[in-house]
Amino acid sequence: MQPADRIADLKPYYFAQVGRQIQQMRSQGLDVVRMDIGAPDMPPPEFVIKAMIAAAQRPDRHSYQPYGGTPAYRRAWAAYYQRRFGVQLDPQTQVVGLIGSKEGIFHLTQALINPGDVVLVPDPGYSAYAPAARIAGGHVVYMPLRAENGFLPDLDAIPHDIRRRAKILWLNYPNNPTGATITYEALERAVAFAREHHILLAYDAAYVDVVLDPDAPPPPSVLQVPGALEVAVEFNSLSKRANMAGWRLGVAVGHAEALRYLFLYKSQVDSSHFGPLMDAAEVALNDPRMDAWIAARNAVYRKRRDRILTLLTELGLTAYPAQAGMYIWAKLPPGVESLAFTQALLQHHHISWAPGRIFGPHGEGYVRISLGVPDDALDRALARLRAAHTLPGLPAREV
Protein backbone atom coordinates (compact mmCIF):
# COMPACT_ATOMS: atom_id res chain seq x y z
CA MET A 1 0.00 0.00 0.00
CA GLN A 2 1.28 3.46 -0.90
CA PRO A 3 0.42 6.67 0.99
CA ALA A 4 -1.30 9.64 -0.58
CA ASP A 5 1.11 11.95 -2.39
CA ARG A 6 0.38 14.76 0.08
CA ILE A 7 1.97 12.80 2.95
CA ALA A 8 4.49 10.69 1.04
CA ASP A 9 7.39 12.96 2.01
CA LEU A 10 6.09 13.84 5.47
CA LYS A 11 8.61 13.15 8.22
CA PRO A 12 7.54 11.52 11.51
CA TYR A 13 6.64 13.99 14.26
CA TYR A 14 9.83 14.38 16.27
CA PHE A 15 8.30 14.14 19.74
CA ALA A 16 6.43 10.95 18.85
CA GLN A 17 9.67 9.49 17.53
CA VAL A 18 11.84 10.43 20.51
CA GLY A 19 9.03 9.40 22.83
CA ARG A 20 9.26 5.83 21.54
CA GLN A 21 13.03 5.91 22.00
CA ILE A 22 12.67 7.11 25.60
CA GLN A 23 10.00 4.49 26.30
CA GLN A 24 12.38 1.78 25.11
CA MET A 25 15.22 3.12 27.28
CA ARG A 26 12.96 3.23 30.33
CA SER A 27 11.83 -0.34 29.67
CA GLN A 28 15.52 -1.27 30.06
CA GLY A 29 15.56 0.28 33.53
CA LEU A 30 17.22 3.58 32.55
CA ASP A 31 16.18 6.76 34.37
CA VAL A 32 15.55 9.19 31.50
CA VAL A 33 14.73 12.79 32.45
CA ARG A 34 12.56 14.24 29.73
CA MET A 35 13.04 18.00 29.25
CA ASP A 36 12.23 18.16 25.55
CA ILE A 37 8.44 18.28 25.32
CA GLY A 38 6.24 21.20 26.35
CA ALA A 39 3.90 19.24 28.61
CA PRO A 40 3.02 20.63 32.05
CA ASP A 41 4.07 18.16 34.74
CA MET A 42 1.78 19.47 37.48
CA PRO A 43 -1.96 18.70 37.60
CA PRO A 44 -4.77 21.18 36.97
CA PRO A 45 -6.41 22.91 39.94
CA GLU A 46 -8.31 20.51 42.16
CA PHE A 47 -11.48 22.59 41.90
CA VAL A 48 -11.42 22.21 38.11
CA ILE A 49 -11.07 18.44 38.40
CA LYS A 50 -13.97 18.34 40.89
CA ALA A 51 -16.11 20.34 38.47
CA MET A 52 -15.49 17.76 35.75
CA ILE A 53 -16.29 14.86 38.09
CA ALA A 54 -19.51 16.50 39.24
CA ALA A 55 -20.58 17.08 35.65
CA ALA A 56 -19.71 13.50 34.66
CA GLN A 57 -22.00 12.19 37.38
CA ARG A 58 -24.98 13.88 35.73
CA PRO A 59 -26.93 11.52 33.44
CA ASP A 60 -27.58 14.25 30.87
CA ARG A 61 -23.90 15.00 30.11
CA HIS A 62 -22.94 11.89 28.14
CA SER A 63 -24.48 12.49 24.73
CA TYR A 64 -22.97 14.12 21.65
CA GLN A 65 -22.27 17.79 22.14
CA PRO A 66 -22.68 20.70 19.70
CA TYR A 67 -20.03 21.04 17.00
CA GLY A 68 -17.49 23.69 17.91
CA GLY A 69 -18.40 23.53 21.59
CA THR A 70 -21.47 24.14 23.72
CA PRO A 71 -22.89 27.67 23.86
CA ALA A 72 -21.67 27.86 27.47
CA TYR A 73 -18.14 26.85 26.44
CA ARG A 74 -18.07 29.53 23.75
CA ARG A 75 -19.44 32.12 26.16
CA ALA A 76 -16.78 31.18 28.71
CA TRP A 77 -14.01 31.88 26.20
CA ALA A 78 -15.65 35.17 25.22
CA ALA A 79 -15.87 36.16 28.90
CA TYR A 80 -12.19 35.28 29.39
CA TYR A 81 -11.16 37.45 26.44
CA GLN A 82 -13.25 40.34 27.75
CA ARG A 83 -11.72 40.12 31.22
CA ARG A 84 -8.13 39.27 30.27
CA PHE A 85 -7.68 41.46 27.18
CA GLY A 86 -10.68 43.80 27.02
CA VAL A 87 -11.68 42.15 23.72
CA GLN A 88 -15.38 41.71 23.00
CA LEU A 89 -16.31 38.62 20.99
CA ASP A 90 -19.59 37.26 19.65
CA PRO A 91 -19.67 33.67 20.98
CA GLN A 92 -21.74 32.55 18.01
CA THR A 93 -19.65 33.89 15.12
CA GLN A 94 -16.23 34.74 16.57
CA VAL A 95 -15.53 31.72 18.81
CA VAL A 96 -15.05 28.09 17.72
CA GLY A 97 -14.15 25.39 20.23
CA LEU A 98 -11.28 23.09 19.25
CA ILE A 99 -9.96 19.71 20.34
CA GLY A 100 -6.74 21.46 21.31
CA SER A 101 -5.28 24.39 19.41
CA LYS A 102 -3.00 22.10 17.36
CA GLU A 103 -6.08 20.62 15.71
CA GLY A 104 -7.34 24.07 14.81
CA ILE A 105 -3.97 25.10 13.37
CA PHE A 106 -4.12 22.13 11.01
CA HIS A 107 -7.79 22.52 10.11
CA LEU A 108 -7.60 26.25 9.40
CA THR A 109 -4.76 25.60 6.96
CA GLN A 110 -6.69 22.84 5.18
CA ALA A 111 -9.77 25.05 4.98
CA LEU A 112 -8.00 28.05 3.41
CA ILE A 113 -4.90 26.94 1.49
CA ASN A 114 -4.90 25.87 -2.14
CA PRO A 115 -1.90 24.30 -3.90
CA GLY A 116 0.71 26.97 -4.50
CA ASP A 117 -0.59 29.43 -1.89
CA VAL A 118 2.17 30.88 0.26
CA VAL A 119 2.12 30.36 4.02
CA LEU A 120 4.53 32.54 6.02
CA VAL A 121 5.99 30.54 8.91
CA PRO A 122 8.28 31.78 11.71
CA ASP A 123 11.68 30.11 11.79
CA PRO A 124 12.28 28.75 14.37
CA GLY A 125 8.65 28.09 15.17
CA TYR A 126 6.15 25.56 16.44
CA SER A 127 6.52 22.44 14.34
CA ALA A 128 2.82 22.19 13.36
CA TYR A 129 2.60 25.23 11.05
CA ALA A 130 4.78 24.09 8.14
CA PRO A 131 3.57 20.44 7.84
CA ALA A 132 -0.06 21.60 7.82
CA ALA A 133 0.74 23.93 4.91
CA ARG A 134 2.60 21.24 2.99
CA ILE A 135 -0.21 18.71 3.39
CA ALA A 136 -2.59 21.30 1.92
CA GLY A 137 -0.23 21.79 -1.03
CA GLY A 138 0.88 25.22 0.13
CA HIS A 139 4.31 26.75 -0.34
CA VAL A 140 6.07 27.40 2.98
CA VAL A 141 8.19 30.56 3.18
CA TYR A 142 10.19 30.81 6.38
CA MET A 143 10.57 34.12 8.23
CA PRO A 144 13.86 34.05 10.19
CA LEU A 145 13.63 34.91 13.90
CA ARG A 146 17.04 36.22 14.92
CA ALA A 147 18.38 36.93 18.39
CA GLU A 148 19.55 40.42 17.38
CA ASN A 149 15.93 41.27 16.49
CA GLY A 150 14.49 39.90 19.72
CA PHE A 151 13.29 36.82 17.83
CA LEU A 152 10.68 38.91 16.01
CA PRO A 153 10.15 38.51 12.24
CA ASP A 154 11.33 41.25 9.90
CA LEU A 155 8.15 41.71 7.89
CA ASP A 156 9.78 44.41 5.75
CA ALA A 157 12.26 41.82 4.48
CA ILE A 158 9.54 39.65 2.91
CA PRO A 159 9.81 40.02 -0.89
CA HIS A 160 6.91 41.77 -2.61
CA ASP A 161 6.10 38.81 -4.86
CA ILE A 162 5.81 36.60 -1.75
CA ARG A 163 3.52 39.13 -0.09
CA ARG A 164 1.20 39.03 -3.10
CA ARG A 165 0.95 35.25 -2.97
CA ALA A 166 0.75 34.86 0.81
CA LYS A 167 -2.55 33.78 2.30
CA ILE A 168 -1.66 33.05 5.95
CA LEU A 169 0.94 34.68 8.22
CA TRP A 170 1.71 32.70 11.39
CA LEU A 171 2.92 34.44 14.55
CA ASN A 172 3.29 32.95 18.03
CA TYR A 173 4.04 34.94 21.20
CA PRO A 174 5.06 34.22 23.88
CA ASN A 175 7.15 32.27 21.44
CA ASN A 176 7.75 28.57 21.18
CA PRO A 177 10.64 27.71 21.12
CA THR A 178 12.57 30.91 21.91
CA GLY A 179 10.56 32.23 24.86
CA ALA A 180 10.48 35.70 23.27
CA THR A 181 7.61 38.08 23.89
CA ILE A 182 6.11 40.71 21.60
CA THR A 183 5.10 44.31 22.21
CA TYR A 184 1.74 45.81 21.43
CA GLU A 185 3.43 48.10 18.89
CA ALA A 186 4.86 45.09 17.03
CA LEU A 187 1.39 43.56 16.91
CA GLU A 188 0.05 46.80 15.45
CA ARG A 189 2.61 46.55 12.66
CA ALA A 190 1.68 42.92 12.01
CA VAL A 191 -2.02 43.77 11.77
CA ALA A 192 -1.28 46.64 9.40
CA PHE A 193 0.90 44.34 7.27
CA ALA A 194 -1.86 41.72 7.07
CA ARG A 195 -4.47 44.32 6.13
CA GLU A 196 -2.29 45.94 3.47
CA HIS A 197 -1.50 42.64 1.75
CA HIS A 198 -4.84 40.85 2.31
CA ILE A 199 -3.27 38.10 4.41
CA LEU A 200 -4.94 36.27 7.29
CA LEU A 201 -2.87 36.77 10.45
CA ALA A 202 -3.01 33.49 12.40
CA TYR A 203 -1.80 34.18 15.93
CA ASP A 204 -0.92 31.37 18.33
CA ALA A 205 -1.35 32.64 21.90
CA ALA A 206 -1.08 29.38 23.82
CA TYR A 207 1.37 30.74 26.43
CA VAL A 208 -0.16 34.13 27.30
CA ASP A 209 -0.88 33.08 30.89
CA VAL A 210 2.51 31.49 31.57
CA VAL A 211 4.30 34.63 32.79
CA LEU A 212 7.73 34.08 34.34
CA ASP A 213 8.57 37.71 35.11
CA PRO A 214 5.78 39.09 37.34
CA ASP A 215 7.02 42.65 36.82
CA ALA A 216 6.77 42.46 33.01
CA PRO A 217 3.61 43.57 31.20
CA PRO A 218 1.20 40.66 30.65
CA PRO A 219 1.50 39.27 27.12
CA PRO A 220 -1.10 40.84 24.79
CA SER A 221 -3.63 39.33 22.44
CA VAL A 222 -3.40 40.36 18.81
CA LEU A 223 -7.14 41.04 18.97
CA GLN A 224 -6.48 44.01 21.25
CA VAL A 225 -5.24 45.91 18.19
CA PRO A 226 -8.08 47.96 16.64
CA GLY A 227 -9.23 46.32 13.43
CA ALA A 228 -7.56 42.98 14.18
CA LEU A 229 -10.90 41.17 14.16
CA GLU A 230 -11.06 41.96 10.43
CA VAL A 231 -7.73 40.27 9.60
CA ALA A 232 -6.77 37.87 12.42
CA VAL A 233 -7.64 34.55 14.01
CA GLU A 234 -6.14 33.78 17.41
CA PHE A 235 -5.61 30.30 18.84
CA ASN A 236 -5.65 29.58 22.55
CA SER A 237 -6.12 26.62 24.86
CA LEU A 238 -6.24 25.45 28.45
CA SER A 239 -3.20 23.20 27.97
CA LYS A 240 -0.74 25.75 29.33
CA ARG A 241 -3.07 28.15 31.19
CA ALA A 242 -4.48 25.45 33.48
CA ASN A 243 -2.11 22.45 32.96
CA MET A 244 -4.90 20.66 31.06
CA ALA A 245 -2.86 19.52 28.04
CA GLY A 246 -4.44 16.06 27.88
CA TRP A 247 -7.96 17.47 28.12
CA ARG A 248 -7.61 18.98 24.61
CA LEU A 249 -9.65 22.11 25.25
CA GLY A 250 -8.80 24.80 22.73
CA VAL A 251 -10.38 27.65 20.85
CA ALA A 252 -10.07 29.79 17.75
CA VAL A 253 -11.37 33.35 18.02
CA GLY A 254 -11.51 36.39 15.77
CA HIS A 255 -12.19 36.79 12.03
CA ALA A 256 -15.76 35.52 11.59
CA GLU A 257 -15.50 34.41 7.95
CA ALA A 258 -12.26 32.49 8.49
CA LEU A 259 -13.83 30.78 11.50
CA ARG A 260 -16.87 29.86 9.41
CA TYR A 261 -14.60 27.98 6.99
CA LEU A 262 -12.70 26.40 9.87
CA PHE A 263 -15.99 25.23 11.41
CA LEU A 264 -17.19 23.88 8.04
CA TYR A 265 -14.04 21.78 7.64
CA LYS A 266 -13.84 20.70 11.26
CA SER A 267 -17.46 19.58 11.43
CA GLN A 268 -16.65 16.91 8.83
CA VAL A 269 -13.91 15.49 11.05
CA ASP A 270 -14.97 15.31 14.71
CA SER A 271 -18.00 15.28 16.97
CA SER A 272 -16.94 17.82 19.61
CA HIS A 273 -15.83 17.16 23.21
CA PHE A 274 -17.10 15.15 26.13
CA GLY A 275 -19.56 17.51 27.81
CA PRO A 276 -18.08 17.44 31.35
CA LEU A 277 -14.71 18.56 29.98
CA MET A 278 -16.32 21.72 28.64
CA ASP A 279 -18.16 22.23 31.92
CA ALA A 280 -14.82 22.13 33.75
CA ALA A 281 -13.32 24.49 31.16
CA GLU A 282 -15.79 27.19 32.21
CA VAL A 283 -14.27 27.00 35.70
CA ALA A 284 -10.68 26.97 34.42
CA LEU A 285 -11.36 30.07 32.34
CA ASN A 286 -13.27 32.32 34.67
CA ASP A 287 -13.26 31.09 38.28
CA PRO A 288 -11.67 33.85 40.46
CA ARG A 289 -9.51 31.23 42.19
CA MET A 290 -7.55 30.71 38.96
CA ASP A 291 -5.51 33.89 39.32
CA ALA A 292 -3.82 32.80 42.55
CA TRP A 293 -3.32 29.27 41.22
CA ILE A 294 -1.68 30.53 38.02
CA ALA A 295 0.61 32.88 39.97
CA ALA A 296 1.79 30.01 42.20
CA ARG A 297 2.31 27.70 39.22
CA ASN A 298 4.27 30.37 37.33
CA ALA A 299 6.49 30.86 40.40
CA VAL A 300 7.44 27.17 40.19
CA TYR A 301 8.37 27.58 36.52
CA ARG A 302 10.34 30.71 37.32
CA LYS A 303 12.41 28.91 39.95
CA ARG A 304 13.14 26.08 37.52
CA ARG A 305 14.08 28.55 34.81
CA ASP A 306 16.59 30.26 37.08
CA ARG A 307 18.16 26.96 38.17
CA ILE A 308 18.59 25.82 34.57
CA LEU A 309 20.00 29.19 33.49
CA THR A 310 22.62 28.95 36.25
CA LEU A 311 23.65 25.52 35.00
CA LEU A 312 23.81 26.64 31.36
CA THR A 313 26.17 29.44 32.38
CA GLU A 314 28.39 26.87 34.10
CA LEU A 315 28.36 24.79 30.91
CA GLY A 316 29.40 27.80 28.86
CA LEU A 317 26.20 27.98 26.83
CA THR A 318 24.44 31.21 25.85
CA ALA A 319 20.79 31.16 26.91
CA TYR A 320 17.95 33.62 26.46
CA PRO A 321 16.04 34.17 29.73
CA ALA A 322 12.36 33.88 28.87
CA GLN A 323 9.91 36.34 30.42
CA ALA A 324 6.99 34.08 29.51
CA GLY A 325 6.28 30.59 28.23
CA MET A 326 7.78 27.37 29.52
CA TYR A 327 11.04 27.02 27.57
CA ILE A 328 14.67 28.05 27.61
CA TRP A 329 16.35 28.55 24.23
CA ALA A 330 20.10 27.95 24.41
CA LYS A 331 22.78 28.40 21.77
CA LEU A 332 25.31 25.64 21.13
CA PRO A 333 28.95 26.37 20.25
CA PRO A 334 29.71 26.93 16.54
CA GLY A 335 29.82 23.71 14.58
CA VAL A 336 27.84 21.63 17.09
CA GLU A 337 24.84 20.07 15.33
CA SER A 338 21.72 20.13 17.49
CA LEU A 339 20.32 16.68 16.70
CA ALA A 340 23.67 14.98 17.21
CA PHE A 341 24.13 16.86 20.50
CA THR A 342 20.70 15.97 21.89
CA GLN A 343 21.02 12.33 20.84
CA ALA A 344 24.40 12.05 22.57
CA LEU A 345 22.98 13.76 25.65
CA LEU A 346 20.15 11.24 25.71
CA GLN A 347 22.35 8.21 25.15
CA HIS A 348 25.18 9.10 27.52
CA HIS A 349 23.46 11.13 30.24
CA HIS A 350 19.82 10.00 29.88
CA ILE A 351 18.56 13.59 29.55
CA SER A 352 16.35 14.63 26.65
CA TRP A 353 16.45 18.18 25.24
CA ALA A 354 14.83 19.20 21.96
CA PRO A 355 17.16 19.92 19.01
CA GLY A 356 16.60 23.35 17.54
CA ARG A 357 16.63 21.97 14.01
CA ILE A 358 13.14 20.51 14.36
CA PHE A 359 11.73 24.03 14.71
CA GLY A 360 13.06 25.18 11.32
CA PRO A 361 16.35 25.81 9.52
CA HIS A 362 17.20 28.83 11.71
CA GLY A 363 16.78 26.67 14.80
CA GLU A 364 19.93 24.78 13.96
CA GLY A 365 22.68 25.39 16.50
CA TYR A 366 20.20 25.75 19.38
CA VAL A 367 18.42 23.50 21.87
CA ARG A 368 15.07 23.95 23.60
CA ILE A 369 14.73 22.99 27.26
CA SER A 370 11.28 22.60 28.80
CA LEU A 371 10.38 23.75 32.29
CA GLY A 372 7.70 21.05 32.49
CA VAL A 373 9.84 18.62 34.47
CA PRO A 374 9.18 17.60 38.10
CA ASP A 375 11.59 19.11 40.62
CA ASP A 376 13.01 15.76 41.72
CA ALA A 377 13.74 14.81 38.11
CA LEU A 378 15.27 18.25 37.52
CA ASP A 379 17.51 17.69 40.55
CA ARG A 380 18.80 14.46 39.02
CA ALA A 381 19.36 16.02 35.60
CA LEU A 382 21.27 19.01 36.96
CA ALA A 383 23.41 16.77 39.14
CA ARG A 384 24.36 14.59 36.17
CA LEU A 385 25.25 17.59 34.02
CA ARG A 386 27.34 19.17 36.77
CA ALA A 387 29.19 15.90 37.38
CA ALA A 388 30.00 15.39 33.71
CA HIS A 389 33.56 16.32 32.79
CA THR A 390 32.37 17.15 29.29
CA LEU A 391 29.27 17.07 27.13
CA PRO A 392 29.22 16.19 23.43
CA GLY A 393 30.68 19.10 21.46
CA LEU A 394 31.33 21.27 24.52
CA PRO A 395 34.74 22.11 26.01
CA ALA A 396 35.94 19.97 28.88
CA ARG A 397 35.44 21.39 32.37
CA GLU A 398 37.03 20.82 35.74
CA VAL A 399 34.64 19.02 38.06
* pLDDT single digits (tens) 164-203: 999 999 999 999 999 999 999 999 999 999 999 999 999 9
Same domain, 110 and 212: yes
Using DSSP's 3-state secondary structure scheme, residue 236 falls into strand
Same domain, 33 and 103: no
Q: Could you read off the pLDDT of 257-304 as tens digits, one per residue? A: 999 999 999 999 999 999 999 999 999 999 999 999 999 999 999 999
- HSE-up of 36 (CA within 13 Å, CB side)? 29
At which of 254, 286, 318 does a domain end?
Answer: 286
Say if residue 338's pLDDT is above 80: yes
Percent of the chain with pLDDT over 90: 89
Q: What is the pLDDT of residue 163?
A: 96
**What pTM was computed for the model?**
0.95
- CA distance linking residue 287 with residue 281, whole number of Å: 10
Same domain, 231 and 344: no
Q: Could you read off the pLDDT of 43-89 as tens digits, one per residue? A: 999 999 999 999 999 999 999 999 999 999 999 999 999 999 999 99
Alpha helices, DSSP H only, in 39-100?
46-56, 71-85
Instruction: Find out whether 6 and 135 touch, Cβ atoms under 8 Å.
Output: yes
Q: Checking DSSP bridges between strand 250-254 and strand 327-331, what pairing results, if any?
A: unpaired
Q: What is the pLDDT of residue 399?
A: 55
Same domain, 306 and 346: yes
What total of structural domains would you count in the chain?
2
Q: Could you read off the pLDDT of 197-243 as tens digits, one per residue? A: 999 999 999 999 999 998 888 999 999 999 999 999 999 999 999 99
Q: Is residue 394 domain-resident?
A: no
Same domain, 117 and 229: yes
Instruction: Find out whether 205 and 236 touch, Cβ atoms under 8 Å.
Output: yes
Print the domain residue range for 248: 46-286
Alpha helices, DSSP H only, in the chain?
5-8, 14-27, 46-56, 71-85, 101-112, 129-135, 160-165, 184-197, 238-241, 256-266, 275-286, 290-315, 338-349, 375-387
